[in-house]
Amino acid sequence: MIGLAKQGMVMRRRFDLGSLRWVCSGAAPLGRDVMEEVANSFPEVELVQGYGLTETCSIVSLERPQAWARKFGSTGYLMPGIEAKIISIGTSKTLPPNQNGEILVRGPNIMQGYFKNLEATKFTLDEEGWLHTGDLGYFDEKGQLYVEDRLKELIKCKGFQVAPAELESVLTSHPEILDAAVVPMEDAEAGEVPVAFVVTRNSSLTEVDVQKFVASQVAPFKRLRRVIFENSIPKTASGKILRRELTNTVKTLRRELSDKVRSKL
């Protein structure tokens, strides 16, 4: 989808895409800005976002743009027979619309448990049958679900929570940035700070340019501490960012910087 957003007009000129009618996105949160860019390049194509997990054995929610008012960035309405609620990360209390928390789902489609792993099953499925997805999101007042990020991927900076997907959406909104990924780096003062890997369009963008672009749109604690330029972002076959690889790269970089400081001392 990011490729279609950034290269859509070029692709239309190079290839005959007249038969393209419908595109569905899943596997990772898709921001409103990216969907709007794709829609502008392909106005005749119906764009749909859905949400589901391996543990749910089917789609949990899906957009139905022909039936209701369209909101780019939403994963749509719950599928028939499925219940869901949002709970507070700190208190586990059910949250009202437009408040971020962990997404819990329940229904006949939910798995019975992890194979030969009772401990993981108890951690994921509670006594009332709710599946704790580990995903962050919220419902709006009309019942549309928005998936923001993974709970375990949150960056904890000075006591605040920073969602990598939010910063990635800001980064890819830059016309010269083709793709981006954000991961944490350990910091003695803040605990963790966000670091970005970006792929650019053969531009002269500098690290400071990118940092200023993001800083102008986010709260101070969400500002990027480092920007690393790459030729590509490592991903799985389904399009999920391989954050562990990038986190290992950041750890190596931090060790190298620490060694340089020690050698100067």
**Residues 139/97, Cβ–Cβ less than 8 Å:** yes
Structure tokens at 101: 């928390």
Residue pair 128/106 in contact by the 8 Å Cβ criterion: yes
> Between 92 and 255, whose confidence is greater?
92
pTM value is 0.75
Q: What's the one-letter identity of residue 162? A: V
- Structure-token match 């391989």, residue found: 242
What are the residue ranges spanned by the domains of the chain? 2-152, 154-264
**What is the distance between the alpha carbons of residues 243 and 41, in angstroms, rounded to a whole number?**
29
159 vs 200, residue with greater confidence: 200
Output the six-digit token pair for 48.
Answer: 């749909």
254: helix, strand or coil:
helix
Contacts of 57 (CB under 8 A, 6+ apart): 109, 110, 111
Find out whether 60 and 52 touch, Cβ atoms under 8 Å: yes
**Is 155 in contact with 193 (CB distance < 8 Å)?**
yes
Predicted pLDDT of residue 159? 85
Asked if pLDDT for residue 143 goes beyond 80, the answer is yes
Choices 3.40.50.12780, 3.30.70.3290, 3.40.640.10, 3.40.50.11260: CATH for 2-152: 3.40.50.12780
Pairing of strands 101-106, 131-139: antiparallel
Mean pLDDT value across residues 259-265: 55
What pLDDT score was predicted for residue 66? 67
Has residue 112 got a pLDDT over 90? yes
Taking CA atoms, 105 is separated from 27, 31, 131, in Å, by: 17, 22, 5
Of 73, 40, 84, the residue nearest 63 (C-alpha): 73
Q: What is the pLDDT of residues 56-76, one digit of tens each?
A: 999 999 988 765 556 788 899
Per-residue pLDDT tens digits for 161-176: 899 989 999 999 999 9
pLDDT of residue 124: 94
Q: Which of 17, 62, 15, 76 is nearest to 43 (CA)?
A: 17
pLDDT in tens, 198-253: 999 888 899 999 999 999 999 999 999 999 999 999 998 878 889 989 999 998 88
% of the chain surpassing 70 pLDDT = 95
Give every CB contact of residue 213 below 8 A, 6+ residues apart in sequence: 170, 171, 174
Give the class (CATH, top level) of 154-264.
alpha beta
Report d(CA 37, CA 32) in Å as an integer. 9
Give the tokens for residue 169: 């959406």
Tokens matching residue 259: 């060694």
How far is the C-alpha of 170 from the C-alpha of 217, rounded, in Å? 8
Backbone φ and ψ for 250, nearest 5 degrees, come out as: -65, -40
The answer to whether 150 touches 135, Cβ cutoff 8 Å, is yes
Determine how many CB atoms are found less than 10 A away from the CB of residue 223: 18
pLDDT value for 89: 87
Q: Give the pLDDT confidence score for residue 149 in this predicted structure.
A: 85
Range scoring the smallest mean pLDDT among 1-15, 91-105, 207-221: 1-15
Highest mean pLDDT (candidates 36-45, 119-128, 151-160, 182-191):
119-128
Taking each helix axis from N to C end, the angle separating 164-172 and 2-14, rounded to the nearest 10 degrees, works out to 30
